[in-house]
């Protein structure tokens, strides 16, 4: 199924998404990779203010390339999501509704997705230049010293993704393999 969704995400949006659905996201999303996640997690553990309110937000696991003249952002392809798995359950518990990346997620992340009604979306690896065309604005909002891994606020229009793990725990990486194998 195809969904045009707007951020911030809500339970009403998330519960209607199923593993395998195509989504086109419009609105604000944030970027954070492993170095930024480690810092955000540290702030949480210290009881300090976060660079943005996690509630109902979506984080894209990306470290974009510098923008060429006349472009908002450079190539912006997803990074491997598993590197954020040590931090993601806590962020989900605090209200993070969506994550965009590539690759498998740990059982702890999947459990948090189900418990707190979140969703894991996949973006196509190797298609960073095409994905960047959906990004209409970007602003570094935290940890600029991390360079490409700084936290950015992005405005996106019809950013394409596929629901990999829905809030019920259905996992496209599992069902897709079974379907392909004829099981």
Looking at the predicted structure, is the pLDDT value of residue 182 above 90? no
Lowest mean pLDDT among 5-9, 28-32, 165-169, 174-178: 174-178
Structure tokens at 21: 């659905």
pLDDT tens figures, 55-89: 999 999 999 998 999 999 999 999 999 999 999 99
pLDDT tens figures, 4-28: 999 999 999 999 999 999 999 999 9
d(CA 173, CA 95): 24
pLDDT tens figures, 129-148: 889 999 999 999 999 999 99
This prediction's pTM: 0.95
Strands 22-31 and 151-165: antiparallel
In this prediction, residue 127 carries a pLDDT of 85
Structure tokens at 92: 């989900």
Whether cis (ω within 30° of 0) applies to the bond prior to 79 is no
Structure tokens at 102: 């590539």
Lowest mean pLDDT among 52-66, 99-113, 139-153, 165-179: 165-179
């Amino acid at each position: 199924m195809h969904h045009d969704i707007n951020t911030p995400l809500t339970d009403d949006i998330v519960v209607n998404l199923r593993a395998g659905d195509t989504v086109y996201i419009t609105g604000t999303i944030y970027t954070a990779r492993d170095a930024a996640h480690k810092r955000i997690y540290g702030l949480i553990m210290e009881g300090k203010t976060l660079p943005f309110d996690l509630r109902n937000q979506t984080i894209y696991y990306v470290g974009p390339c510098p923008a060429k003249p006349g472009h908002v952002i450079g190539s912006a392809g997803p990074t491997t999501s598993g590197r954020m798995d040590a931090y993601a359950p806590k962020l989900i518990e605090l209200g993070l509704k969506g994550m965009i990346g590539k690759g498998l997620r740990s059982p702890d992340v999947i459990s948090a997705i189900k418990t707190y009604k979140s969703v894991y979306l996949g973006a196509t690896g190797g298609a960073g230049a095409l994905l960047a065309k959906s990004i209409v604005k970007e602003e570094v909002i935290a940890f600029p010293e991390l360079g490409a891994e700084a936290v950015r606020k992005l405005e996106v229009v019809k950013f394409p993704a596929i629901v990999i793990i829905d809030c019920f725990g259905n996992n496209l990486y599992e069902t897709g393999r079974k379907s392909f194998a004829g099981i």
